[in-house]
């Protein structure tokens, strides 16, 4: 049975670092920023004995470009940061999306805008799901809501990045990064992935490989953008992940991701105790967004309550996804205090019919 | 008949896009000759920087990755850390290295990354049409210093080689020019030495090449060569600034 699989009590950030190592990532580049420091700290200790490389770069700009270089060789590599640092990485992310480089970036997001603060926030949803940098690109975005998922989704992010030759982001926040929970550290089975025949390994016995995002010849860039678009469409078909709880008989469904899905789950349980049939829809992939999953459930449930730790970002995707006669309500909080479940329960009472 | 001069194996047989009289093609040739000399073509990875240097992948018969503007030395470091056995080099212009990417350049040198950085210094932004660069000389007119570079507004031209030489991490630092045959022979030696340092794992090697940009300087090729001699070299003196004899971890 599962008894011989070790359960350990770790922080969310450490679970990310363990997931990276277990996914075969031996290269990490980063710059200190709260609240993600446990990731570089853990990896600076554990990568060198494994023959890996850890660089504390001079900035997040350098980190993301070290990552670009490393991934161009076909190696698995990762960087982590938090919101202001992720802003600095947007240039590199755009280049890597354009150059089709598979990398994993972890955003243990904090609050903004600007220097903001170090408390949890979901204010980076737009930046993560809309590309973030310049140009018409998308990035796979995975949103863990437990320490276990921090581990599992980090592992998955490497596979998805390789599968699509595209950057993949794990979007956590200060709450999930800093909290401790039991973790079963068990490697997932690796996906069947395409060979990295594009990687720069030295042009020995073959034509040179070029990794670039500059396309100046007539029609080339158009064609390249269509190719990227086809890839994003394929992600939408094949990679959507979400969790649905108590949807069967629900009359109202809360839509929340990451840390807010945890609080919302408690609120849902409290509502159930009061006899209200409430369900929870938790997107795990923020891109590709589970549009169809939401649409399908909105055929039978007409009240949706989106709960976010911001003043309204994902709610736009919920509105775009549900059937036209479904009502989408929003409850959000700017960074600062995390809403207790009672606050969400109050909102449920307000909209429950 | 004996063949005494030929195209380096490392260069693809296509015409360069560089303007007539530009020294970029010479720099490419020097790098290619060094790669051929050490027979490392099949394990060399180039990093293309943004500027006139970006089309490296059309000329070198090697694997190449293109870096964002200013980030070539960080990208090169990432490549090298992932593939220690590869030979990694980049050619960065003065805007790329001296302005937008100065932090990445300095820290790459300071980490002692075992890569080779060729610094193409022509004192102007070539590809964007002749704007002022960090290495533009005082008094020099460009499209964004139409009254001539004035230190009270624009500061002074940066001496990158001297700066790199101060860092403990750099193993080899030289400044050369290719404006006449005598200088060219010294440049060839310096570029070869820079690659040798990398092959021997001595650490970060840096060669600044003073180059002409006849188009954006508004000069003929010969006048541009003379300008390198008369105006650039006095401010950017040639020579080997630093040469480590043993890897510093020995």
For residue B237, the distance in angstroms to the closest alpha carbon of chain A comes to 30
A2 pLDDT more than 90: no
Q: What was the ipTM of the complex prediction?
A: 0.95
Are residues A165 and A252 both part of a single domain? no
A281 and A180 share a domain?
no
Q: Which residues in chain B touch residue A200, judged by CB atoms under 8 angstroms apart?
A: 45, 63-65, 79, 83
**Residue A1: its pLDDT value, please?**
43
Measure B61 CA to nearest chain A CA, in Å: 6
Indicate yes or no: CB of B79 within 8 angstroms of CB of A69. yes
Contact between chains at A69 and B67 (C-beta distance less than 8 A): yes
The minimal CB distance from B65 to the residues A69, A77, A91 is found for A69
What residues of A are in contact with residue B104 (Cβ under 8 Å)?
Answer: 58, 61-62, 65
Cβ-count burial of B194 within 10 angstroms (0-12 exposed, 13-18 middle, 19+ buried)?
Answer: buried
Structure confidence by residue, pLDDT tens digits, A108-132: 999 999 999 999 999 999 999 998 9
Instruction: For residue A68, list chain B residues with Cβ-Cβ distance below 8 A.
Output: 65, 67-68, 71, 74-75, 78
Residue A117: how many CA atoms within 13 Å on its side-chain side?
8
Chain B environment of A202 (Cβ under 8 Å): 42-45, 62-63, 86
Residues in B touching A203 (Cβ below 8 Å): 41-42, 61-63
Encode pLDDT of A169-211 as tens digits. Answer: 999 999 999 999 999 999 888 899 999 999 999 999 999 999 9
Residue A3 in this model has a pLDDT that exceeds 80:
no
Which residues of chain A lie closer than 8 angstroms to B43, CB-CB? 202, 204
According to the model, what pLDDT value does residue B75 have? 98
Residue B249 pLDDT exceeds 70: no
Please count the structural domains in chain A: 2
> Are residues A175 and A35 located together in one domain of the fold?
yes
Does residue A234 sit in the same domain as residue A249?
Answer: no
Supply the DSSP string of A218-236, one letter for each residue: TTHHHHHHHHHHHHHHHHH
On whether residue A120 sits in a domain, the answer given is: yes
So what's the pLDDT on residue B247? 67
Q: Are B104 and A62 in contact (CB under 8 A)?
A: yes
Question: In terms of domains, do A183 and A306 share one?
Answer: no
Examine the domain organization and report whether A87 and A168 are in the same domain: yes
* CB < 8 Å to B64, chain A: 200, 208-212
Residues A231 and A267 in one domain: no
pLDDT digit string, tens, across residues A281-306: 999 999 999 999 999 999 999 999 99
User: How many domains are contained in chain B?
Assistant: 1
A176 in a structural domain: yes
- Predicted confidence band at A337 (pLDDT cuts at 50, 70, 90)? confident
Query: Under a CB-based contact definition with an 8 Å cutoff, are residues A254 and A267 in contact?
Result: yes
Our CA-based measurement puts residue A238 at a distance from the nearest CA of chain B, in whole angstroms, of 30
Under DSSP, the state recorded for A92 is H
Q: Are residues A232 and A340 in the same domain?
A: no
Interface test with B, best of A25, A26, A31, A69 (most B CBs within 10 A): A69
Q: Closest chain A residue to B58 measured between Cα atoms?
A: A210
Whole-number Cα distances in Å, A301 to A285, A296, A306, A307, A323: 22, 9, 14, 17, 10
Q: What is the pLDDT of residue A171?
A: 98
The token pair at A259 is 């840390």
β-partners of residue B242 are B173
Position A336 scores a pLDDT of: 82
Q: What is the pTM of this model?
A: 0.96
Closest-CA distance, A38 to chain B, in angstroms, reads 22
Q: How far apart are CA A310 and CA B209, in angstroms?
A: 52
Residue of B65, B61, B75, B9 lying closest to B38 (CA atoms): B9
The answer to whether the CB atoms of A73 and B83 lie below 8 A apart is yes
Question: Looking at residue A190, what is its pLDDT?
Answer: 81
The verdict on residue B120 lying in a domain is yes
Distances from the Cα of B165 to the Cαs of A5, B175, B195, in angstroms? 54, 11, 17
Distance CA B104, CA A317 (A): 38
Range of the domain at B221: 24-243
Q: Determine whether the interchain pair A69/B75 forms a contact, defined as Cβ–Cβ distance below 8 Å.
A: yes
In a domain, A318, yes or no: yes
**What is the per-residue pLDDT for B250?**
46
Residues B18, B5: Cα–Cα separation, whole Å: 22
> Of A183, A218, A238, which residue sits at a domain end?
A238
Domain range for A293: 243-351
> What is the average per-residue pLDDT within A72-87?
98
> Where a domain ends, among A215, A238, A261?
A238
Q: What is the CATH number of the domain that holds A68?
A: 3.40.50.970
Q: What confidence tier does A4 reach under pLDDT thresholds 50, 70, 90? A: low
Shared domain check, A168 and A305 = no
- DSSP label at B53? G
pLDDT > 60? residue B59: yes
Q: Average of pLDDT values for A53-73?
A: 98
Distance CA A309, CA A260 (A): 7
Does residue A179 share a domain with residue A308? Answer: no
CA distance B246 to chain A (A): 24
Residue A237 has pLDDT above 80, yes or no: yes
B67 contact residues in A (CB cutoff 8 A): 65, 68-69, 95
Our CA-based measurement puts residue B104 at a distance from the nearest CA of chain A, in whole angstroms, of: 6
Residues A106 and A157 in one domain: yes
Angstroms from A138 CA to nearest CA on chain B = 18
- Where are any strands of DSSP class E within chain A? 7-11, 27-30, 53-56, 77-81, 104-109, 140-142, 168-173, 180-184, 210-211, 242-245, 252-255, 278-283, 285-287, 303-308, 327-332
Which residue reads 């204010």 in tokens?
Answer: A123
A56 has a pLDDT exceeding 50: yes
Of B63, B67, B103, the CB nearest to A200: B63
Is the pLDDT reported for residue B175 higher than 80?
Answer: yes
Residue A215 lies in a domain: no
Same domain, A95 and A159: yes
Q: Work out how many CB contacts closer than 8 A connect A with B.
A: 132
**Residue B12: inside a domain, yes or no?**
no
- Does a structural domain hold residue A210? no
Q: pLDDT by residue (tens digit) across A266-278?
A: 999 999 999 999 9
Instruction: Kindly state whether residue A317 falls inside one of the protein's structural domains.
Output: yes
Q: Which residues of chain B neighbour A95 with C-beta distances below 8 Å?
A: 66-68
Cα B122 from Cα A81, distance rounded (Å): 37
Is residue A96 a contact partner of residue A161, using CB atoms and an 8 Å limit? no
Tell me the pLDDT tens digit for each residue of B193-245: 999 999 999 999 999 999 999 999 999 999 999 999 999 999 999 999 999 98
- Looking up tokens 């090449």, which residue turns up? B209
Query: Residue A333's domain is classified under what CATH number?
Result: 3.40.50.920
Per-residue confidence (pLDDT) for residue A209, from 0 to 100? 98
| CATH code at position B89 | 3.40.50.970
pLDDT at position B1 is 83
Q: What pLDDT shows up at residue A346?
A: 98
Domain boundary among A173, A208, A238: A238
CA–chain centroid gap for A317, Å, is 16
Q: Average pLDDT for residues A82-97, to the nearest whole number?
A: 98
Q: Please tell me which of the candidates A61, A66, A205 has its beta carbon nearest to residue B78.
A: A66
Query: Is residue A344 a part of any domain in this protein?
Result: yes
Query: Has residue B11 been placed in a domain?
Result: no
């Amino acid at each position: 049975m599962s008894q011989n699989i070790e359960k350990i009590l770790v922080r969310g950030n450490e679970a990310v670092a363990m997931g990276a190592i277990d996914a075969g990532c031996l290269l990490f580049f980063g710059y200190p920023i709260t609240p993600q420091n446990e990731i570089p700290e853990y990896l600076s200790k554990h990568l060198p004995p494994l023959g890996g490389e850890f660089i504390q770069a001079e900035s997040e700009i350098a980190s993301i470009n070290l990552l670009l270089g490393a991934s161009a060789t076909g190696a698995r590599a990762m960087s982590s940061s938090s919101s202001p640092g992720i802003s600095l990485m947007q240039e590199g992310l755009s280049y890597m999306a354009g150059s089709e480089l598979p990398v994993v970036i972890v955003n243990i997001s904090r609050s903004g805008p600007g220097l903001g603060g170090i408390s949890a926030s979901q204010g980076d949803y737009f930046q993560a799901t809309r590309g973030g940098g310049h140009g018409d690109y998308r990035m796979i975005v995975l949103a863990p809501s437990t320490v276990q998922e921090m581990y599992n989704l980090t592992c998955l992010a490497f596979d998805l990045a390789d599968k699509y030759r595209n950057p993949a982001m794990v979007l956590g926040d200060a709450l999930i990064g800093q909290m401790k929970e039991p973790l079963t550290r068990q490697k997932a089975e690796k996906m069947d992935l395409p060979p990295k025949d594009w990687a720069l390994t030295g042009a020995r016995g073959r034509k040179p490989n070029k990794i670039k995002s500059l396309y100046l010849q007539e029609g080339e860039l158009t064609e390249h953008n269509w190719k990227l678009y086809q890839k994003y469409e394929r992600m939408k078909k094949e990679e959507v992940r979400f969790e649905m709880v108590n949807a069967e008989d629900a009359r109202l469904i809360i839509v929340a991701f990451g840390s807010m899905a945890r609080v919302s789950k408690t609120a849902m349980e409290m509502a159930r105790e009061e006899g209200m049939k409430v369900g929870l829809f938790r997107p795990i992939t923020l891109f590709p967004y589970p549009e169809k999953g939401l649409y399908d459930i909105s055929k039978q449930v007409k009240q949706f309550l989106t709960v976010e730790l911001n003043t309204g970002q994902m709610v736009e995707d919920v509105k775009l996804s549900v059937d036209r006669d479904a009502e989408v309500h929003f409850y959000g909080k700017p960074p600062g205090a995390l809403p207790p479940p009672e606050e969400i329960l109050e909102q449920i009472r307000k909209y429950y019919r | 008949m004996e063949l005494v001069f030929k195209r380096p194996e490392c260069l693809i047989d296509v015409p360069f896009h560089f303007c007539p009289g530009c020294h970029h093609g010479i720099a490419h040739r020097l790098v290619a000759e060094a790669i051929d000399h050490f027979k490392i073509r099949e394990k060399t990875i180039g990093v293309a920087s943004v500027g006139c240097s970006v089309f490296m992948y059309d000329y070198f018969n090697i694997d190449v990755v293109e870096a964002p503007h200013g980030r070539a030395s960080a990208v090169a470091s990432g490549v090298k850390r992932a593939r220690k056995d590869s030979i990694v080099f980049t050619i960065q212009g003065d805007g790329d290295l001296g302005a937008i990417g100065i932090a990445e350049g300095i820290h790459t040198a300071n980490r002692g990354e075992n890569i080779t950085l060729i610094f193409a210094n022509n004192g102007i932004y070539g590809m964007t049409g002749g704007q002022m660069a960090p290495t533009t000389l005082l008094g020099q007119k460009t499209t964004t210093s139409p009254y001539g570079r004035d230190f009270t507004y624009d500061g002074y031209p940066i001496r990158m080689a001297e700066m790199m030489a101060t860092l403990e991490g750099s193993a080899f630092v030289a400044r050369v020019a290719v404006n006449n045959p005598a200088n060219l022979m010294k440049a060839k030696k310096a570029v070869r030495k820079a690659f040798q340092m990398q092959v021997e794992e001595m650490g970060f090697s840096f060669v600044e090449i003073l180059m002409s940009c006849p188009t954006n300087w508004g000069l003929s090729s010969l006048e541009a060569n003379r300008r390198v001699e008369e105006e650039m070299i006095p401010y950017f003196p040639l020579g080997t600034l630093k040469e480590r004899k043993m890897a510093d971890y020995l």
